[in-house]
Amino acid sequence: MIPNYFSRFAHLRMSRDVNGVLLVEMHTDGGPIRFDATDHEQFVDAFYEIGRDRGNKVVILTGVGDYMADIDFATFGNVGDANVWSKVHDEGTQILENIANIRVPVIAAIEGRAFIHTEYALLANVIVAGRGATFSDLPHFAGGIVPGDGIFTAWSYRAGAGRAEAFLLDPQPITAAQAAEWGVVTAVVDDGQAVAKARELAALYLKQPEVTRRNTRIHFIQPLKERIVREVGYGLSLEGASAAALVQSMTAAA
């Protein structure tokens, strides 16, 4: 039986095989996702549902074409308005907490450009990337706002604080090979083969008892989960203040 939530979210395509491996594909109309405010709202519930469904034995997160390279800023409205940002703030913290609360192994399969919300992928236990994949941070410091939505927390945890700070202050794209050198990417494969490699790893993990798999994910994610709880709400508050200042300066210049 296919769970109802599989088809509830416009930009998430979900399918689960007979072994319980859930493939979550981010997309827009079957192509690369253009992330928008509706996604930001719906991903809260989507990852909550994924985490609470014990039919999911391993989760693979990927994108169609690109992991995520485009964002529709206009759909978020006036982010200089405290009421608007309050919603962004709450959803941003809840998305990451709900990904961290997925209690089975999570694998991220990265193809193409991963320029937006790479922190979602970095909450996976393992990241597999195609050779042509690139990583960057399009929306934050280069666009005039603080990278406070968890991207610094995730990148500093995986790559180290010094690398994360330099990467986010001057977000030039890095290759999958460089991300592997930093310890962020686990395996680099031929382009188009990231999901296939993720499925190989999932099959390996499934050889272990379910409680072992679940408890290993819980154990491994705990230190990063603690940082998310401590840092992301505060970081999003700082990001909101910078967004308000940016809107104010743009309005004054108009």
Active site residues: 119
Q: Which amino acid is at 181?
A: E
Amino acid at 243: A
- Residue 152 corresponds to which tokens in the numbers above? 């610094």
Read off the tokens for 41: 């709202």
* Pairwise CA distance, residues 32 & 11, whole Å: 10
CA distances from 118 to 20, 87, 215, 218, 241 (A): 25, 21, 25, 21, 22
Question: Angle CA(151)–CA(162)–CA(247) in degrees, nearest 5?
Answer: 45
Edge-to-edge strand ranges of the sheet holding 113-114: 113-114, 134-135, 174-175
- Whether 211 and 219 have beta carbons less than 8 Å apart is answered as no
